[in-house]
């Protein structure tokens, strides 16, 4: 397999900390810049799988860059530059301790809760008689807490405000940005023959007191897409929807008897499977953006990434 970014251990001038997420390594430079390296790691069921996927980081980073640029008129975002296909450098922000999840359809965890009898999610009432994958009358905002370890937990707007996680004034703006960004994402997806089903946004506050959109946006890791063509027919027949997301990786793991539960072993990821996942991510990129994916030279990928970041920091 090709060279991949499984982990980074860079040391930059002014570096204060390094945060390693499931997929991203984030370097804090002097509380002024955040350098986000999107690795080729892949996670499912809150578990980072042992092998990396060639070009996955480039796919995610370049989709996020495209959508950050395409939504900057709606909401200020943290991005300053992307000096490498797998890197975004942005404004240092203090993240809010919640993720803003917005859903256009009754799918995934929301459907599982609904099937068990729940008729509200995060304090939002859900109508009776809905089918799996059916569109909500209006998209619903269902935030979660941001867990440093383990699973994020559903939380209502009222709980967020009463627990002092986010002020009412800030929350109202987060909710407005979330709805407006989802609307733009939905319009852009429709032009590509897709339905933006659900997604998550993360926000932070800059040292200027303003709220910024941070992290990724509308990528297949943070969002679920359905194919628009045939959606209504499949719904009418009670068939599963054709999805464009990393759901196929979760399905493969489930078929192998793995759901991230204690005592379960991650199944062997063969070279053939890894190549399939890489090809699928590239296909996702081309569908979502409408552009051809150009593979960058990964001969010495870690060196390339490090040098491109050094070069950028030395001129800023």
Residues in the chain: 316
**CB crowding 279-304: b at 16 or more within 10 Å, else e:** ebbbebbebbbeeebeeeebeebbeb
Looking at residue 150, its pLDDT comes to: 58
Task: Reduce the DSSP state of residue 252 to 3 states and report it.
Answer: helix
Which pTM does this prediction carry? 0.92
Structural domains for the chain: 15-93+271-314 (3.30.200.20), 95-244 (3.30.470.20)
Question: 203 forms bridges with which residues in the sheet?
Answer: 213
Query: Mean pLDDT by 10-residue block, N- to C-terminus, for the chain (316 residues)?
Result: 87 96 95 97 91 96 97 98 98 96 94 94 94 96 80 89 97 98 97 96 96 95 94 96 85 90 91 94 94 96 97 97
Rounded CA-CA distance 98/101 in Å is 9
DSSP for 164-226, please give it.
TSS-HHHHHHHHHHHHHHHHHHHHHHHHTTEEEEEEEEEEEE-TTS-EEEES--S-TTTEEEE
DSSP one-letter code for 200: E
Looking at residue 103, its pLDDT comes to: 98
What is the phi/psi pair of residue 138, to 5°? Answer: -140, 150
Rounded CA-CA distance 204/109 in Å is 26
Given 3-state DSSP classes, what are the helix, strand and coil percentages for the chain, each rounded to the nearest 5?
Answer: 30, 25, 40
């Amino acid at each position: 397999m090709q060279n991949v970014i499984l982990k980074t251990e860079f040391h930059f001038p002014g570096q204060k900390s390094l945060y390693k997420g499931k997929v991203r390594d984030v370097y804090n430079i002097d509380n002024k810049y955040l350098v986000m390296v999107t690795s080729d790691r892949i996670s499912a069921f809150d578990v980072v799988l042992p092998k990396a996927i060639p070009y996955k980081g480039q796919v995610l980073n370049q989709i996020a860059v495209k959508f950050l640029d395409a939504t900057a008129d709606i909401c200020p975002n943290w991005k300053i530059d992307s000096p490498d296909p797998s890197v975004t450098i942005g404004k240092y922000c203090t993240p809010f301790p919640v993720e803003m999840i917005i859903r256009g359809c009754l799918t995934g965890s929301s459907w599982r809760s609904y099937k068990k009898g729940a008729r509200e999610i995060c304090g939002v009432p859900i109508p009776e008689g809905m089918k799996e994958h059916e569109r909500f009358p209006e998209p619903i905002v269902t935030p979660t807490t941001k867990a440093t370890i383990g699973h994020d937990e559903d939380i209502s707007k009222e709980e967020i405000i009463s627990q002092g996680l986010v002020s009412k004034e800030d929350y109202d703006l987060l909710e407005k940005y979330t709805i407006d960004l989802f609307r733009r994402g939905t319009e852009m997806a429709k032009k590509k023959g897709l339905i933006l089903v659900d997604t998550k946004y993360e926000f932070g506050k800059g040292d200027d007191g303003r709220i910024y959109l941070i992290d990724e946006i509308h990528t297949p890791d943070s969002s679920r897409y359905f194919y628009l063509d045939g959606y209504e027919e499949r719904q009418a027949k009670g068939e599963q929807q054709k999805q464009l997301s990393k759901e196929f990786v979760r399905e493969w793991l489930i078929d192998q008897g793995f759901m991230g539960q204690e005592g379960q072993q991650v199944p062997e990821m063969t070279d053939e499977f890894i190549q399939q996942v890489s090809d699928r991510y590239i296909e996702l990129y081309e569908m979502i953006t409408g552009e051809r994916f150009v593979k960058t030279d990964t001969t010495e990928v870690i060196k390339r990434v490090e040098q491109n970041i050094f070069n950028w920091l030395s001129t800023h």
